[in-house]
Structure 1
Amino acid sequence: MSDPHATRVTVFSALLLAAGLAQPALAQSSCTSDGQQRPAVLVERFINADCATCWTDPATPPAVRGAVALDWVLPGGQGEDAPLSAVATRDALKRLQALATAPPAGSLNLRTPVQGRAGALRVAHGLPVSGYIGASIAFSGTAGRAAGQPWTGWLALVETLPVGTEGSPVPRNLVRNLVQTQWDGRNQLSKQERFRFIESRSMDVPAGTNTDRLRVIGWVQDAQGRIVAAAQSRCAGK
C-alpha cells in the first residue's frame, strides 16, 4: 500500500507523436520558464480573420510591464478568403468558449489578473523536429494552499512577432497551437501533502511558422475560472 503522505504525481496522457525525436530535443533544450518573471496579468487579444484592419489597429492595447499577451486569430465567415485566414486557428474558438464569450466580428481584448497563490508553474519546449515540437507544462505545490480543484492547464505554442510585423502596432505572441488539460482532483490530499501534475505533448507546428520565434506560454485556472499561475518560456541566448 502506498504511503498516503507521499507525493502524488499525475501524468495527463503523455502524448509524443515523434517520441524518438521530440523528447530528446526537449531534454537538451534550455527553453524553459526557469528564472523568468512570472506574469501578473494575462492579456488576450482576439481578432476575427475577416477583419482586414484589426491587425494594424493603432488602438491595440500593448502588454504593459508585468503582463504577457496572447494573440488569437479566429476563423472568419469568409473561410480561406478571409484576410487573416493564413494564421487563423480553431483553438481561438475553444478559448472563447472557455471564457463564455461570443466571437467578435472585429476584435476583442481581455485582461485577466493572475492570482499566483496556488502553486508553482513551469513550462518548457524543445527544438522543432519534422514539423513537431515537444512541450510540457508542470504544476506543483502544497495541497493546503491549493483550493479550487479541478484545475485546467493551458499551454499555448506561440510565434513571437516584433512590432511592425505586417503593420502591427505592438509586438505579438501569435497562438499557433494549444494544449488544454484538466486535473480532476479525485485524489484528495491532506493539507501537508504536495501535489504535482505534468502534461507533455508533441505539438504540430503549422506551415509558414518561423520556428526560430517559437516559445510557449502556460497558465492554470481553478474551478471558478480564476488564473492561479502563469509562466512563459525563453530560450537561452534569445
Structure 2
Amino acid sequence: MKNIARTLASVLVLTYTASALAQASCSSDGILQPVAIFERFISADCEACWSDAATPAPSATAGVAVLDWIVPGKAGDEAPLSAAATNDALARLQTLGRKPPVTTDVHTAAIEAATPARLRVAHGMPFNDYLGAAIAFTPVQRAAQRNVATPGAMDFYLLLVESVPAGTEGTKVARNMVRNMLHGTWEKRDKLSKKEQMKWMETRSIRIPEGAEAERLRMVGWVQDAQGSVLAAAQSTCR
C-alpha cells in the first residue's frame, strides 16, 4: 500500500511541476551559469572532515558550483555522518574512476563547451516528500543559426542540494550537501527536425530524504559529453 501511495505522489508531482515551474519561483533564470564545478567527497566515517575549518575550497568562489557528497563509510550506519550518506556519492566516484576516500577527496571540472550553450534547472514546491524538477539544455541561438552540429550522446546530472550555512549542523564552512541525484543520457536524435534536435529537456519527480530541510533545498545540474567534458552547468535559487 505504501508503494502505491508513493507512486501516486510521484505522478501528482509530475502533474504539478508544469504549473510550478512556469512560475519560475525556483530556477536558474537570471543567474550566471557556473564556469566550474568543485566537488568535495567526504567519508561518512570522518566527522572531523565535516567540521574542519580548513576544508578544501576553490581559490575563487565566484562562478563555481560547490558540492558536498557524503560517501558511505566502512562503519555503515554507525558512521558519524551516515544519516547524510548516499549511494549516489559512490556512483559518482565510480564514474570519475575514484575510490571512496578515507577523509576528503576533491574533484574539479571546468566548463569546456566548444559550442555555446545554456542550461536551465528548476523545481516546484515540496509535495508529499517529493519535488517536481526539470533540466533543459539548449545551444544558444547564434550557434544554431550557424548550423553548428548538434552534440551526440550527453549525460545529464540533476542534483537536489541542501545549503547548510557555516556555523550550523556542526560545520564551520558553508556546505552544499547533495541529497539526491537524477542521472540519465540524452541520445542524438537524427530523425527529429533541426529545431527539435537543438533542445533537450527532462522533467522528473525527486524524493526529499528524511531529515532534509525543505527551505534550504535547491537544484544544481550539468550536462557533459561522451568524453566527460562539461558543456554547461546551472544552479537554482528561490525568489
User: Do they fold alike, i.e. is TM over 0.5?
Assistant: yes
Equivalent pair of 1:125/1:134 in contact (CA under 8 Å): yes
- SS of the aligned residue for 2:37 comes to strand
Pairwise CA distance, 1:58: 2.4
Distance across 1 between alignment mates of 2:44 and 2:157: 23
Partner AA of 1:128 in structure 2: P
1:92 to 89, 94, 100: 89
User: For 2:11 and 2:158, how far apart are their aligned partners in 1?
Assistant: 17
The one of 226, 234, 239 aligned to 1:223: 226
Q: Which has the higher helix share?
A: 2
Q: Is the 8 A contact 1:32 1:123 kept in 2?
A: yes
Match of 1:12 in 2: none
- The one-letter code of the counterpart of 1:65 is A
What pairs up with 1:143-182 in 2 under 5 angstroms? 144-145=147-148, 149-182=152-185
Residue 113 (structure 1) aligned with residue 107 (structure 2):
no
Match of 1:138 in 2: 136
* Alignment partners' CA distance in 2, 1:223 and 1:28: 33
Q: Aligned to 1:166, what secondary structure does the other structure show?
A: coil
C-alpha displacement at 1:190, in angstroms? 9.2
Residues 150 and 197 in structure 2, CA contact (< 8 A), matched pair in contact too: no
Q: Distance in 1 between matches of 2:50 and 2:173?
A: 9
Letter in 2 for 1:84: L
What is residue 62 of structure 1 aligned with on the other side? 57
User: Which AA in structure 2 matches 1:135?
Assistant: A
Structure 2 stretches lacking a partner, 5+ long: 1-8
Q: Distance in 2 between matches of 1:55 and 1:211?
A: 21
| 1:143-172 residue CA offsets vs partner (Å, 9 max, x unmatched) | 954665211000000001111223323211
Percent of residue pairs identical: 46
The answer for the alignment partner of 1:125 in structure 2 is: 123
- 1:72 maps to 2:69: yes
Task: Say which is worse superposed, 42-51 or 139-148, in terms of deviation.
Answer: 139-148
Residue 200 (structure 1) aligns with:
203
20-29 or 192-201: which moved more? 20-29
Distance 1:149 1:124, change over 3 A: same
Letter in 1 for 2:127: V
Question: Tell me, what secondary structure is at the counterpart of 1:121?
Answer: strand
2:31 corresponds, among 36, 60, 64, to 36
What is the aligned-residue RMSD (CA, Å)?
2.3
Q: Corresponding residue for 1:103?
A: 100
Distance 1:127 1:192, change over 3 A: closer
1:21-57, CA deviations, whole angstroms, 9 ceiling, x for partnerless residues?
4444334451111110110110000001011211012
1:82-102 deviations in whole A, cap 9, x for unaligned?
Answer: 000010000001111111111
Distance in 2 (alpha carbons) for counterparts of 1:130 and 1:158 = 18
In the other structure, the counterpart of 1:5 is none
